[in-house]
Amino acid sequence: MALLTPEDLENINKQLQEADSTVRRVTGLDIKGICKDFYGTTPCCEKVGIVPVTSGNGIIGSFSESLNAIAGYFGFDSFITDMPDVSGYYEAVKNGARIILMADDNTFLAHNLKNGKIANNQPCTGIIYAEIASRYLKADSKEVLAVGLGKVGFPGAAHLVQKGFKVYGYDADRTLLEKSVSSLGIIPFNPVSPEGDRQRKFSIIFEATPCADTIPESVISENCVISTPGIPCAISKELQKKCGVELVMEPLGIGTASMLYSVL
């Protein structure tokens, strides 16, 4: 279970601002612009109630506070309930929340009480990071590499297929890789040891694994964006600098924005 830690969330506002400027450089739009264009929705101060949840591993330090900062950054009017769990849910509704944000160890949801729409963080994250990667202005081909085809990666890879990209994919779990090949038609490609001697380089890479260093230098092309919600990061700082990679990576805010815009 890959749970966030308080360390992942340190100075979330700075992380969000840095990610936003990278997204602007990569796509020409900021995160708000991508979400608005992709979902066709715009927030107008919807009240968001953030409910801490104590089940399982319990409350993660600064998780609710980070969601509060993120909702504010994207133009929502948000508050954290004093009480957690059921009492917190009741408190949120009684205090006029239109959208509920809450997470246990397995599901992080956004639920719009007015229109009934509900969003799950995993597909919303995969899809928005894939969407950002797909809009890379300096891409030199329609070929993309998707590494990590789990709860976040598979929806992201599916989105890239639907957008008409030629998707090469890899997952350490053979069953997941085979499922992705059969259901999405992606081309199996292990970046660490590609079949045959032909080296394939990509200018669009989407990664969603809980492992570090999953993207080797050999697959990174001249102009390359690596769009990755995966924690820890798919490449080292050194490799990022050496190859001049545009790295879109942020621990919670981009995925949360995708959830919120998807339920408006």
Ligand X SMILES: NC(=O)C1=CN([C@@H]2O[C@H](COP(=O)(O)OP(=O)(O)OC[C@H]3O[C@@H](n4cnc5c(N)ncnc54)[C@H](O)[C@@H]3O)[C@@H](O)[C@H]2O)C=CC1
Ligand Y SMILES: N[C@@H](CCCCNC(=O)[C@H]1CCC=N1)C(=O)O
Count the residues of the shown chain that bind ligand X, applying the rule CB under 6 A. 29
Q: Report 55-74 residues binding ligand Y (CB under 6 A).
A: 59-60, 63-64
Q: Is 103 in the site for ligand Y (CB under 6 A)?
A: yes
- Per-residue binding letters, 106-145, with ligand X (x by CB under 6 A): ---------------xx--x--------------------
User: Least distance from C-beta 251 to Mg ion, angstroms?
Assistant: 6
For 80, the token pair is 């954290």
Residue 172, contacted partner among Mg ion, ligand X, ligand Y, none, CB below 5-8 A by kind: ligand X
Binding residue for ligand Y, selected from 4, 93, 113, 187, defined by CB under 6 A = 4
Binding residue for ligand X, selected from 171, 245, 260, 261, defined by CB under 6 A = 171
Distances (CA, A) of 252 to 9, 13, 57, 257: 8, 11, 18, 9
Residue 219 neighbours by CB distance under 10 Å:
19
- Interface segment toward ligand Y; rule CB under 6 A; list 97-105, 112-120, 130-138, 234-242: 97-105
Q: Which amino acid is at 176?
A: L
207-217 in b/e form (b: 16+ CB < 10 A) is: bbbeeeebbee
Q: 207 pairs with which residues across the strands?
A: 147
Q: 248 pairs with which residues across the strands?
A: 227
User: Least distance from C-beta 234 to ligand X, angstroms?
Assistant: 9
108: CB partners within 8 A, 6+ apart: 101, 102, 120, 121, 122, 259
- Smallest CA-to-CA distance from 149 within 185, 196, 120 is with 185
Binding residue for ligand X, selected from 43, 123, 169, 229, defined by CB under 6 A = 229
Residue 63, contacted partner among ligand Y, ligand X, Mg ion, none, CB below 5-8 A by kind: ligand Y
152: CB partners within 8 A, 6+ apart: 122, 123, 125, 126, 129, 208, 229, 230
Binding residue for ligand X, selected from 15, 148, 246, 247, defined by CB under 6 A = 148
Q: How far apart are CA 38 and CA 254, in angstroms?
A: 13
C-beta nearest to ligand X: residue: 150
Residue 142 neighbours by CB distance under 10 Å:
13
Binding residue for ligand Y, selected from 9, 26, 48, 53, defined by CB under 6 A = 53
Q: Is 252 in the site for ligand Y (CB under 6 A)?
A: yes
Q: Give the residue with the Cβ less far from ligand X, 80 or 149.
A: 149
Give the three-state DSSP class for 97: coil
Binding residue for ligand X, selected from 150, 157, 246, 259, defined by CB under 6 A = 150
Q: How far apart are CA 162 and CA 51, in angstroms?
A: 35
Name the residues that contact ligand Y, by CB under 6 A: 3-4, 52-53, 59-60, 63-64, 103-105, 108, 121, 252
Name the residues that contact ligand X, by CB under 6 A: 2, 121-122, 125, 147-153, 170-173, 176, 208-211, 214, 229-231, 250-252, 254-255
